[in-house]
Amino acid sequence: MADRLTEIVIPKEKALFRMDARGRWHNAHGPFRKKSIIDHFNRSIRKDAAGFFVTQINGERIEKVYFPVEDTAFFATDIIAGDPIRLILNTGEEIPLIPEALFIQNDNLYMARGADRIRFSERSLLHLADRMEGDDGVYTLQVGKRRHPIRIEPPA
């Protein structure tokens, strides 16, 4: 059925909402406050060559709205301890934490995933705090019995 729908594409310059650097959705009235709407937007995030967008079916149309993003649209919002450690993303996806893909940029922790980057929320950082150490600008993450260095720039 979705292949028979008319696609309406809204460029990010005309979007009525945006995502800030902390992963919060905003419109002209300020940050979104209703959790169900925030969750719906987060679960709807997709990315293609033109950028990040959300999509929904509205009657006989599928609406694809690109939106401005201050940093990244992907956030680790929670951590599941285990072997391996797992990240819960704002999109609802669950993925393994890859220590070699971690990096720090502008005082924020990220994990590279292909061409994308996932920023760790304050909540997820709290769950990792007892596993992290920093001394003289050198940071490590303890996973199992091994300490993994964290880069200060994105991995190549």
Spatial separation of the C-alpha atoms in residues 90 and 41, rounded to whole Å: 9
CB-CB contact of 77 with 121 (8 Å): yes
In a domain, 156, yes or no: no
| Structure confidence by residue, pLDDT tens digits, 7-56 | 999 999 999 999 999 999 999 999 999 999 999 999 999 999 999 999 98
Looking at the structure, tell me whether residues 57 and 87 fall in a common domain.
no
Amino acid at 146: R
Higher pLDDT, 3 or 128: 128
Strand pairing category for 116-120 and 108-113: antiparallel
Q: What is the mean pLDDT of residues 137-143?
A: 90
- Which of residues 66, 82, 99 is at a domain's end? 66
Does the pLDDT of residue 58 top 90, yes or no? no
Domain of residue 143 covers: 74-150
Spatial separation of the C-alpha atoms in residues 32 and 58, rounded to whole Å: 21
Looking at the structure, tell me whether residues 59 and 91 fall in a common domain.
no
pTM of the model: 0.89
The token pair that represents 80 in the structure block: 């599941």
Strand partners, 64: 9, 55
Looking at the structure, tell me whether residues 79 and 145 fall in a common domain.
yes
